[in-house]
């Protein structure tokens, strides 16, 4: 069983067809395929770096914390999501791009959700939107699907409801919690979501949800049994290093490397080692060409 999508094996310069929601919705591990790879991205350079290696890029509202320094995702706006979604779609060719719906843009009513989601789809060119919530969002998911907008669900810990949860603690610790999260996952899948993110739930529950619903589950702090995994790219590469969630595996320390590079640059400038003449522009003397003398016979 290959762990790398076939398109990812081709030369990086070769343009591949962009993966679609139909491609993703068929990727249940129980069918014998490799787990999907999802990561967040918010900028053009990051999207280009991820594009060849992932199945889906999620333009997550986590950008509120990682990019803008907000304390939570609650103050992220629709305009922010659209601007970052545009950058990611423009700078990727292969990965399926999904954009988070921010807090307050879809909860009021199905009609309000459609108005917001239609803007996201039309202005970014993304393939789908993601919405947090369980059974209470089923009607909205159906409403959007009936109007041509594919949806990814999100159950378990839903960060936009952090105040209701009283923090970012793992979910499904009690029988009642586990029962509700399972019901939420079933409701979202039954409503037509083509995939469901399962966040920060106890492992046996995430495993059970993956077995219970027909659409792929995408785990984040959930279970290796999920049909795919997603993480915040800033956590993965060590750019966001104020704290590291338990469910994150760090593959690089880009933040530390960045600080070291900036410190070296500052030291060079202050000590006069940068810039040198090799970094400057100087005028190049122009060569003068002498006119050839005409033959005497042709002179007047």
Q: Mind telling me the catalytic residues? A: 199
Rounded to an integer, what distance in angstroms lies between the CA atom of residue 226 and that of residue 29? 8
Q: Are 205 and 178 in contact (CB under 8 A)?
A: yes
- How far is CA 8 from its chain centroid? 18
Rounded to an integer, what distance in angstroms lies between the CA atom of residue 95 and that of residue 129? 14
Query: Helical H runs in the chain?
Result: 21-25, 44-51, 63-66, 78-90, 110-124, 138-146, 162-165, 175-191, 203-212, 233-236, 254-271
Rounded to an integer, what distance in angstroms lies between the CA atom of residue 74 and that of residue 71? 8
Rounded to an integer, what distance in angstroms lies between the CA atom of residue 94 and that of residue 16? 6
Q: Are 42 and 65 in contact (CB under 8 A)?
A: no
């Amino acid at each position: 069983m290959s762990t790398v999508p076939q398109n990812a094996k081709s030369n990086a310069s070769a343009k591949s067809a962009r993966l679609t929601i139909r491609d993703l919705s068929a990727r249940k591990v129980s069918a014998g395929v490799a787990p999907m790879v999802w990561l967040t991205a918010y900028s053009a350079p990051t999207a280009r770096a991820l594009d060849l290696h992932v199945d889906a890029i999620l333009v997550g509202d986590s950008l509120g914390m990682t990019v803008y320094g907000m304390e939570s995702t609650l103050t992220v706006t629709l305009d922010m999501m659209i601007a970052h979604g545009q950058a990611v779609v423009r700078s990727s060719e292969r990965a399926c791009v999904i954009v988070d719906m921010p807090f307050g843009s879809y909860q009021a009513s199905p009609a309000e959700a459609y108005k917001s989601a239609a803007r996201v789809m039309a202005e970014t060119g993304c393939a789908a939107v993601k919405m947090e919530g369980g059974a209470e969002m089923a009607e909205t998911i159906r409403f959007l699907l009936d109007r041509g907008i594919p949806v990814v669900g999100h159950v378990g810990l839903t960060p936009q409801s952090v105040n209701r949860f009283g923090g970012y603690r793992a979910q499904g610790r009690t029988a009642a919690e586990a029962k509700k999260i399972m019901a939420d996952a079933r409701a979202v899948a039954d409503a037509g979501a083509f995939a469901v993110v399962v966040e920060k739930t106890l492992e046996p529950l995430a495993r059970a949800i993956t077995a219970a619903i027909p659409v792929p589950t995408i785990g984040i702090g959930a279970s290796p049994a999920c049909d795919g995994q997603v993480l915040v790219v800033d956590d993965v590469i060590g750019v966001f290093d104020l704290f590291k969630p338990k469910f994150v595996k760090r593959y690089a320390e880009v933040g530390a490397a960045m600080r070291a590079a900036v410190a070296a640059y500052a030291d060079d400038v202050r000590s006069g080692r940068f810039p040198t003449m090799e970094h400057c522009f100087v005028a190049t003397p122009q060569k003068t060409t002498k006119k050839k003398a005409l033959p005497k016979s042709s002179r007047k």
